Homo-oligomer: A and B are copies of this chain.
Amino acid sequence: MKALVLFSGGLDSTVCLAMAVKEYGASEVAALSIYYGQKHKKELEASEKIAKFYGVKRMSLDLGEIFKDSSCSLLESSKTQIPMGDYADQLKETDGKPVDTYVPFRNGLFISSAASVALSYGCEVIYYGIHADDAAGNAYPDTGVDFNEAISKAVYIGSGKALRVESPFVDTPKAEIVRRGIELGVPFEMTWSCYEGGVRPCGKCGTCIDRKKAFEANGIKDPAVADQV
């Protein structure tokens, strides 16, 4: 196995998966999906279907225990509701802190877990879909360029230079990721982004809004909600 893709079943990681498959071939790529107590665990069903679509090995981890005492509203264990509205509006309320759906050091934990798994399989690269929209205004501090540089260095050194992290979208807005996905023929209709994890995307949470704008910027309607008013 050569590449391990951190794979939520969302839009960004699905484009990452398509890129890894194009680069290495499906037989050399594995997808790692993680349950961590998220309300929208529905994304994991999407990840199964998409992994099958691409013909890659799919692995999964349950890291829910680690976040059992977090009050983050993205988690099933939380008593608070996920905020509605885009991230720019949400950040006006946080007094310089991350948004309420920031899961404590989640991305650092995901990359570290992926590093341990990837090294067990002899992979040389981890793909991770962190992107510029999430980093904007420090909404999610574990998504930005500086964070990515530090954690990538930690993985490279800490693995004895056997493994590197590839974050192709760390400086890329979501609209550009959609454009890349269109080029690669990504089955966007199979992906799941909404934080609410309901029957259909809510259209009102931060990630739904961000996703909608990204498709609009490409002049198309999101195929996952094409039949929704």
Contact = CB atoms under 8 A, between A and B. Distances in A.
A204 interface: no
Interface string A164-197: 0000000000000000000000000000000000
A120 B154 contact: no
Interface stretch (A38-46, A48-56, A104-112, A214-222): A104-112
Given A150-B154, A154-B147, A154-B151, A119 B159 contact: no
A227 interface: no
Given A108-B115, A112-B109, A113-B109, A120 B157 contact: no
Contacts of A142: 157-159
A108 B150 contact: no
A89 B159 CA distance: 21
A97 interface: yes
Most chain B CB atoms below 10 A, which of A69, A120, A141: A120
Interface string A135-162: 0001001101011001101110111110
A90 interface: no
A112 B105 contact: yes
B150 A153 contact: yes
A163 B102 CA distance: 15
Contact of A116 (B61, B104, B116, B119): B104
A229 to B, nearest CB: 38
B121 A69 contact: yes
Nearest to A96: B160
Contact of A62 (B65, B112, B113, B138): B65
A71 B120 contact: yes
Given A109-B115, A138-B160, 17 more contacts: A62-B65, A66-B116, A104-B120, A105-B115, A105-B119, A105-B155, A105-B159, A106-B116, A108-B158, A111-B112, A141-B158, A141-B160, A146-B157, A147-B157, A147-B158, A151-B151, A151-B158
